[in-house]
Amino acid sequence: MKVIQKKERQHYLEEHSISHLFSFSIEEYLEVHEYQRDEWIIQEGMRPDYLYYVIEGKAKIYLTYQNGKVSLINFINAHDYIGEMELLHEVYYTKGIQASTRTVCFAIPLRPLREQLLEDAKFLRELTKFLSMKATIMAAKYSQSLSFPLENRLADFILQTADGNLYKEKHVTVCDFLGVSYRHLLHVLAQFCEKGYLQKDEKRYRIEKREQLEELAGVLKNG
């Protein structure tokens, strides 16, 4: 993790200002943290020292079950919060958050600001909107597994997890997240390659026709 400072920090503060989300002056407290792909923003089971607001990049949420199985359970994108549940609940089992691309976040230190954040009606209204949307998206994900073919859901997954035009998620992770068999996943990936949407490059894939994948993924949003 890199802490961005001086002129570059000021650039992010001006370009991605979040001062309108708070009733008090937040900018003097903000740190700007940069994470590279596969770096952990929050380690599972460890309470974060910051509330994060993502301004660039993407991340993934992982959960380890009692039997040791690790599952991908959701995605984080720009304008999402990380650590909001830990802010709201003194006792909360923290999930693992891993950057899937270069990711830049505003980091709000919780030690000096926790009480002020929890008493800020303006911030809490905005946070409630975010949590409501997050719950709606999670519910839609589960209904999509029953309502849409794998082609549409896989296209959306590839776009969500790709780093630029490079896609290299483990097949077992994808099968678990989408609720499909290994064989079915390989069949649809092979179809995508035959149609020229993807090009296989050893253990990873390169997106060749993003527009076609976006069209397939768009069905989920319009359905």
* Domain range list for the chain: 2-119, 148-222
Q: Does the structure show a pLDDT above 90 at 66?
A: no
Region 157-167 average pLDDT: 94
**Torsion sign across C-alpha atoms 95, 136, 211, 177:** positive
Query: Using one digit for the tens of pLDDT, what is the confidence trace for 117-150?
Result: 999 999 999 999 999 998 888 777 777 766 889 9
The domain 148-222 having CATH identifier 3.40.50.300: the answer here is no
Q: Do 148-222 and 2-119 fall under one CATH topology?
A: no
Question: pLDDT digit string (tens) for 22-57?
Answer: 999 999 999 999 999 999 999 988 889 999 999 999
Q: How many residues does the chain have?
A: 223
pLDDT at 147: 80
Nearest to 29 by CA among 111, 119, 120, 128: 111
- The 2-4 sheet, strands edge to edge: 2-4, 31-35, 103-109, 50-56, 81-82
* Mean pLDDT of all residues belonging to the chain: 92
Question: What is the Cβ-side half-sphere exposure of residue 97, based on CA atoms within 13 angstroms?
Answer: 26
Locate the DSSP E strands across the chain. 2-4, 31-35, 40-42, 50-56, 59-64, 70-76, 81-82, 96-99, 103-109, 166-167, 198-201, 204-207
Query: Which neighbouring-strand residues pair with 76?
Result: 59
Q: Are 3 and 14 in contact (CB under 8 A)?
A: no
Distance CA 62, CA 94 (A): 10
pTM over 0.85: yes
- The CATH class that applies to domain 2-119 reads mainly beta
Task: Give the pLDDT mean for 9-21.
Answer: 96
Angle at 193 between CA 188 and CA 197, to 5 degrees: 100
